[in-house]
Amino acid sequence: MTSLVGWMADPIIGHILRGTHNIQDLFPMQEQCASYIHQVALSNIASDVCIASPTGTGKTLCYVIPIVKYLVTHMASRVLCVVLLPTKDTAQEVFNVFYSLTAQTPLHVALICGSLSLEAEHSLLQREINGIKVCCAHIVIGTPRRILEHVDLNPLLFTSVRFLAIDEADILLGPSNNDWIYRFLDATMKDRQNQCVLHKILCSATLTSSLPLYVHLGMSNVVSFQHQHQDAGVDPQQLEDMFALPETLQGGCRGRG
């Protein structure tokens, strides 16, 4: 029997990937990128990451794995991770992956993309118990404009975010579509409730190095990970099927608990 190494040997991540999704090995880029993100988070080092990888090569796991691993051991009753995507469908796909990998953990995940009313979505993020406002989601996946509506409702809700992942960054941060990011960053950095570094992760199939973009986003010590051709890809439909949820958990905003 081959001994397990790296992330596949992790008692939480490896068990779910092998047992639930029949994934036996990670690609080298996934292993390296996930390990780097996890290490800088543990060390609270200011270092951001860019991931350039074509569709079907598993770039989502590059950031989902280390974020879940870190938050399981550093939980707090706050929104600690925000992942932004351009459409409801892509947000749902990433939500499926997060939901699956947190299934055996106490982490709560919420999908905020406009499928439900603003009030219904807000109840997934925060509830009032005995007159005290309590955060209900540790990980929030959504679309930028919808997330900004919640920022306007309660700016303090996002002031403890440790991880900001922008997937399909080439679309979301295009010249005609990037004003939202400055509003969001202002909200997360103003009245910040902890001294922890905000780690920014940019992902795209076509992402290229852009110093002006890094400067505008306040990115520092940027490390890039790029898919290598020898890493065999996964068929996109196969990857989607691996992390598909029952229909009762799709098409809206859902949080565990």
pLDDT in tens, 190-244: 767 667 889 999 998 876 656 556 666 888 899 999 877 554 444 444 444 444 4
Q: Does residue 181 surpass a pLDDT of 80? A: yes
Domains and CATH numbers, the chain: 27-209 (3.40.50.300)
For residue 120, which phi and psi values (nearest 5 degrees)? -65, -40
88, 115 contact by CB (below 8 A)? yes
With tokens 């799709």, the residue in question is: 250
97, 179 contact by CB (below 8 A)? no
- 11 or 143: which carries more pLDDT confidence? 143
- In total, the chain counts a number of residues equal to 257
Mean pLDDT of 86-101: 95
Q: Does residue 27 surpass a pLDDT of 80? A: yes
Q: Does residue 86 surpass a pLDDT of 90? A: yes
Q: Specify the pLDDT at position 106.
A: 94
CA-wise closest residue to 58 among 223, 188, 201, 239? 239
- Name the amino acid, one letter, at 64: V
Secondary structure of residue 44 in the 3-state scheme: coil
Q: Specify the pLDDT at position 235.
A: 42
pTM, to two decimals:
0.85
Q: Specify the pLDDT at position 212.
A: 59
Question: Strands 109-112, 163-166: parallel, antiparallel or unpaired by DSSP?
Answer: unpaired
- Which pLDDT band, with edges at 50, 70 and 90, does 252 fall under? very low
Which tokens go with 88?
A: 């409801």
Q: Does residue 141 surpass a pLDDT of 90? A: yes
10, 66 contact by CB (below 8 A)? no
